[in-house]
Amino acid sequence: MNIQSIKKMATLLALPALLGTVSSAALADAYLPVLNQNFESDRLPIPDNKTTSIAGWLDVGNNDSGAYAPEKGTHYLDYGNHGQVAYLNGGGAIRQGLKAPLVLGETYTMTFDVGRPLGQEFLFTSVALTANSYTLAQTAVNHNQIEAGKWGTFTLSFTANEHMPIGSPIVVEFQNLHYVEGSHADIDNIMFKTSGDASPLSIKNIVLIDEPTTLSVPSDYANINEALDFLNDKFIANNTLVTIQVDDCSNQVYSAPIAIKHPHAQQIEIIGNPANPSACVLQFNGSSGFDVAMKTKLKLINGFHIKGNRVNTTHGVGASKGGSIRLGAATIISGFYHGIEATLNGRVYANTVLISGNAGSGVVSQFNGYVQANGAQSKENDLHGFYSADGGIIEANQSKALSNTVNGYFSESFGHIKSQEAEASGNDNSGFFATGKSFLDATSSIANNNNVGFQCDYNGYVKRQNSTESGSITSHIPAVSTYKNQCYIF
């Protein structure tokens, strides 16, 4: 189907089952019920003085959560109004579905307290409001906003619009994204209210795309952003594919990122010239390339050379805050600060992609980000070929890191890189390097002509079983070394 044949559906939002029976008047000046909102419902056991579950809340994290009573002078400088609170260890998360459906036009506001215990250097807590897996609002609280031993009060607000899943229950989620042993975030005093400003629910025509559709650039739309703007108020039916096809690859110049925000982006693909991606350049001047966030999932980008001009803080493809993006094998990324960057639970799938000539690193994963780059090649970057830190994970089996100015594969500060059957050649420092309680799996890999083939320090772990090393200027650090606080190559 071409764009002229998209059909209008005037009755889609008129279905009573979708809207539910709650009127805006019923919500006026109301406080929505949050079960165990100040965590006083849990009876703390003796002598532990803490629980490993929370009444009314679902444990959905990768580490412990529960309730406890902070002690003055031990945990905080003062009690304040925080008798019992929720704690989330690094990676821990709690979630609660409210007994309140989303009402069109209503404004929702949640206030909550976050605490940073004494002696804790870092804090990074994510807070999200969702409905039917759609992110309504999200924020993060870090150590720059709260002094150690103190609490801060924060606000998260949104107004329900027609792009949101009207009628679905609202879900509250807190997550500790600081993956460090002994570190935890504390939560307390959650209040959720509505403004009562919603006018009577209005029903507007919805354009439904329910057949495969192609938007051509530039014959239909001048550039990719204009094609995405056209889709903003369209509903894409399940199992329906919308393709943005770029035919003119010589004039695609952008001064701002292409931000993917559509709630049905998992049914959108952006295609250039898969047979010859170097002939289809997307030039980004002074900005990042593609961005996806807030749990938005883009189906595919393929057939492009995504090109920047080496400006600091930019990336060619970035995913954050639960967003994900998939790159096809016919993708080239060059000339940004980082080629690919995943952070804050963002995910990038970039198997067999070519990344080169960036002012920072080729592939980066931090703060619980994830990059899958099996078979990818990252070369001639000014820092590292592949870099992970702060709970970031990179899966880069059978990949190559070539001629990077610092390291080929580098993990630090609780980063994790899996690079089995990989090759690190011609890197100015190390081929494979782990430090700061990080892990690097280089099983059956090759390190050729690097300054150091396999290196670790400060409690880093490098697994190099069945690997080979040649042409190194300096030998690798021996197994179970006492050099620099002990590290392990095995």
On the question of pLDDT at 8 being above 50, the answer is no
What whole-number percentage of the chain has pLDDT above 90?
Answer: 58
CATH of domain 22-194: 2.60.120.260
Q: Which residues have C-beta within 8 Å of that of residue 482, sequence separation ≥ 6? A: none
pLDDT in tens, 178-199: 877 778 889 999 998 887 765 4
pLDDT in tens, 306-326: 999 999 999 999 999 889 999
Q: Residue 451: name the closest of 479, 432, 423, 478 by CA.
A: 432
For residues 490 and 479, what is the distance between their CA atoms, to the nearest angstrom? 6
Domain assignments of the chain as residue spans, ordered by start: 22-194, 206-489
> Quick one: fold of 206-489?
Pectate Lyase C-like (2.160.20)
For residues 413 and 458, what is the distance between their CA atoms, to the nearest angstrom? 10
Mean pLDDT of the chain: 86
Instruction: Please tell me which residue, 427 or 457, carries the higher pLDDT value.
Output: 427
Q: What average pLDDT does this structure show over 430-452? A: 95
What is the H or E stretch that residue 157 is in?
Answer: strand 150-159
pLDDT value at residue 141: 92
Phi, psi of 8 (to 5 degrees): -95, 135
For residues 313 and 319, what is the distance between their CA atoms, to the nearest angstrom? 14
pLDDT value at residue 30: 66
Q: Which of 7-21, 92-106, 212-226 has the lowest mean pLDDT?
A: 7-21
For residues 476 and 469, what is the distance between their CA atoms, to the nearest angstrom? 9
Beta strand segments in 288-330, E: 290-292, 297-302, 304-307, 315-319, 324-327
The C-alpha torsion from 442 through 444 and 445 to 447, rounded to 10°, is 100
pLDDT in tens, 189-243: 999 888 776 544 333 455 778 899 999 999 999 999 999 999 987 878 777 899 9
Q: Which two tokens stand for residue 101?
A: 């459906």
φ/ψ region of 356 (left if φ > 0, alpha if ψ in -120 to 50, else beta) reads: beta
DSSP, res 386: E
Q: How many CB atoms lie within 10 A of CB 114?
A: 23
In sign, the C-alpha dihedral spanning 165, 134, 139, 316 is: negative
Q: What average pLDDT does this structure show over 92-105? A: 87
